[in-house]
């Protein structure tokens, strides 16, 4: 996302954040949005069937260093999202991003700076940031 797009999105969120302006409302809406993303993902397996989950223990050779682990671990996802499920998940992710941006607005944080800071942290620490 370009800097202008991110700033415009945050301005739009702030403008339309009227009824749920309380940080308590936004906190719970963000948590609810994350739950709805998880539920939509589960329904791709349990209701639609466009995805399946084939999970088992991740087999990683002992002599592999941490930077090579990504070549051995699996997502456990089989299949591809159908257009309907993709649309539902994109909608739910959009709602989650809305409430993330709303949290930034209410706390006086710049969403772009939050994203850049996390990107820098990941790039600096590499795979060690995710363990």
| CATH code of the domain covering residue 115 | 1.10.287.1080
Taking Cα atoms as reference points, which of 77, 7, 8, 17 lies closest to residue 49? 77
Domain that includes residue 104, residue range = 3-49+81-130
Say if 123 falls within a structural domain. yes
Say if 32 falls within a structural domain. yes
pLDDT value at residue 50 = 98
**Euclidean distance between the first and final Cα of the chain, in Å?**
26
Q: Residue 79: beta bridge partners? A: 51
pLDDT value at residue 129 = 59
| Number of domains forming the structure of the chain | 1
Query: Rounded distance, CA 103 to CA 85, Å?
Result: 27
CB-CB neighbours of 82 under 10 Å: 14
CA distances from 3 to 42, 43, 95, 100 (A): 33, 34, 20, 17
Q: What pLDDT digit, counting tens, does each position of 41-94 carry?
A: 999 999 999 999 999 999 888 888 877 888 888 899 999 999 999 999 999 999
């Amino acid at each position: 996302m370009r800097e202008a797009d991110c700033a415009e999105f945050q301005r739009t969120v702030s403008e339309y954040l009227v009824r749920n302006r309380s940080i308590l409302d936004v906190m719970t809406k963000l948590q609810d949005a994350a739950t709805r993303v998880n539920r939509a993902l589960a329904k791709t397996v349990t209701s639609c069937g466009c995805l399946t989950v084939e999970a088992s223990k991740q087999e990683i050779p002992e002599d592999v260093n941490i930077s090579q682990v990504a070549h051995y671990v699996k997502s456990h996802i089989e299949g591809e999202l159908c257009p309907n499920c993709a649309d539902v998940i994109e909608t739910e992710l959009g709602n989650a991003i809305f409430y993330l941006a709303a949290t930034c607005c209410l706390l006086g944080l710049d969403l772009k700076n939050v994203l850049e800071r996390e990107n820098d942290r990941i790039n600096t620490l590499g795979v060690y940031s995710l363990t």
